[in-house]
Structure 1
């Protein structure tokens, strides 16, 4: 009996490992439809048209809007197979609709930010069905704003930094931005999270984002450079790579970049202190012969005005008396 058991194990174990390997490598099918979500509610109605010729992973939808994908191995339980759909169709006029808005058989299963399949379903008997994708009319509206980080005057030789803010409304967008400085700025290398930059001429760069912008999310990036000569211009930021956008009025922004004078405050020239030198000898004056001295009356300090007036009064009285006497004699 023991020999039989050992023999059974010797034969069964290889067969079991072969069966396990076969099961793990067994392929399964992913299928579904693509449709045009005309009202943008994320749910496929019977009146909404199916879309032929839509690329989903390595497959393309047929004349009835259906597709099938053979996946090489079965995932362990529920999980999302690595399948991606395009973010937009018809030159950006239609974009991925909001996912998971209704029953599994009539909603969209692809992330509307980046197009990757999002599902928790597992294959049933080798089939993962009703993996659909919807495209709704464009509704996203991304915008950009550029703001200088430095305050005060800018001079030749200074480093300048500008903040680029990209935001959008309640719908996701996938955009980049072109930033251009005026001549006279040497750009610093760009270092932005989840993005990279390609040079544009000598003073510009295209910043492209590796991920889509979530609804109502603002992304901030900074660009910098060094001023190498006097400038009187602007720094511009323009949205690029936008598959769709409902309003172009907020797709461009600018900020001034102007160098100040060499010195911002007038400085007085210090006056050198002259060493003091002895005063020059006075020029000899010619000697003038003195006239005989006339002794002046001593100054007693008394005011002579009243005595003078009194004398005049007495004189006048005397003259009057003399005149009066002559008249009487006559």
Structure 2
């Protein structure tokens, strides 16, 4: 029950009709004699057995007699009567108290109903811890109780990246999901067991640690607060494949909370998946063939024109002509020789 709901209920009763308000108040005053006598304000309500686990008291659902209600942080506690009603008296006017509905999980397997504090006949207490913030004067702080039936089981095992066969050296994420279905909040956890040959690199998943240091081939987790039914939670690890693995099982086992005895199906408490890995392909040794390094430039043959070394170094050109005196002398000699040859050849022809 919250302040807004309480205010709305009081305002509705006052605004609709005075007779209705008197009818609603009269039972509360009669049941809270201390408040009627001016000994202080009170808080009261009813505990009942919520047979359909919907958090709403339906017609025919019975009262829960002998159930303990208490004020959190105090030594004050009362028990419900045969009609399921309880009352705290002598409370400070206008104060907000946290009222607790006793945890019966280990007593008789009852849990708290789903919270329906916006409903006039709904359960006002949290299904997580069984408490509610209630303002003094509230006479309908009601607590629904359910006979718990929870089925705890793993949901799946995810291996990524997905392959039929892995190789030594592969890095793989392995994550398991677990949850429970049922009608009451509860604690739960799980243990993931990995095959030999996988080395954990880091933990992944949202489930809190159960052990400070898990075994080399295990990942464990646990929720100590009571979780809602149907919520899948995950735990897992990033691993490296360090040796060949022949179809060994990855296994996840769900751990149960305080309502574990209510589990109707024990055959689905575990789930397995095969994992196979082979050795990495062998690498052939690299053979280096002898090689001849081609020259960066093609070889070239240089033909050097013969150099004529002049007999005399007196090669001063004739003035203003650019001609060499030595060259002229050589030319003249050649002409004289040619002329002499011609004369001799001519004389021989005549004699013939």
Q: Is the 8 A contact 2:50 2:61 kept in 1?
A: no
RMSD (Å), alpha carbons: 4.1
- Deviation, structure 1 residue 207: 0.9
Q: Is the 8 A contact 1:187 1:224 kept in 2?
A: yes
Q: Is 1:95 the equivalent of 2:106?
A: no
Normalised by the size of structure 2, how large is the TM-score? Answer: 0.52
The 1:181/1:60 distance shift into structure 2, 3 A limit, reads farther
Q: Is 1:150 the equivalent of 2:157?
A: no
Q: Please list the CA deviations of residues 75-108 of structure 1 after superposition, one character each: whole Å capped at 9, or x if unmatched.
A: 77xx67374653735554x33223328964x532
Following the alignment from structure 2 to structure 1, what is the Cα–Cα distance between the partners of residues 240 and 250?
A: 13
The 1:47/1:261 distance shift into structure 2, 3 A limit, reads closer
Q: Is the 8 A contact 1:185 1:203 kept in 2?
A: yes
Give the aligned partner of residue 258 of structure 1: 276
User: How many matched pairs?
Assistant: 239
Following the alignment from structure 1 to structure 2, what is the Cα–Cα distance between the partners of residues 61 and 48?
A: 16
Structure 2: runs of 5+ lacking an equivalent: 1-39, 293-352
**1:217 alignment partner, one of 231, 236, 240:** 231
Q: Is the 8 A contact 2:148 2:182 kept in 1?
A: no
Following the alignment from structure 2 to structure 1, what is the Cα–Cα distance between the partners of residues 241 and 283?
A: 24
Give the aligned partner of residue 142 of structure 2: 132
Q: Is the 8 A contact 2:249 2:272 kept in 1?
A: yes
The 1:67/1:230 distance shift into structure 2, 3 A limit, reads farther
Q: Is the 8 A contact 1:29 1:71 kept in 2?
A: yes
Q: How does 1:153-172 map to 2 (within 5 A)?
A: 153-169=165-181, 171=183
Give the aligned partner of residue 183 of structure 1: 196
Q: Is 1:238 the equivalent of 2:248?
A: no
Following the alignment from structure 2 to structure 1, what is the Cα–Cα distance between the partners of residues 67 and 182?
A: 29
Question: Counting strand residues as a fraction of each chain, which structure ranks higher?
Answer: 2
The 1:143/1:194 distance shift into structure 2, 3 A limit, reads closer
The 1:220/1:52 distance shift into structure 2, 3 A limit, reads same
The 1:193/1:163 distance shift into structure 2, 3 A limit, reads closer
Q: Is the 8 A contact 2:206 2:233 kept in 1?
A: no
The 1:230/1:178 distance shift into structure 2, 3 A limit, reads same
Give the aligned partner of residue 207 of structure 1: 221
- Deviation, structure 1 residue 269: 5.9
Following the alignment from structure 1 to structure 2, what is the Cα–Cα distance between the partners of residues 51 and 32?
A: 12
- Deviation, structure 1 residue 268: 5.7
Normalised by the size of structure 1, how large is the TM-score? Answer: 0.55
Following the alignment from structure 2 to structure 1, what is the Cα–Cα distance between the partners of residues 91 and 199?
A: 51
- Deviation, structure 1 residue 43: 0.7
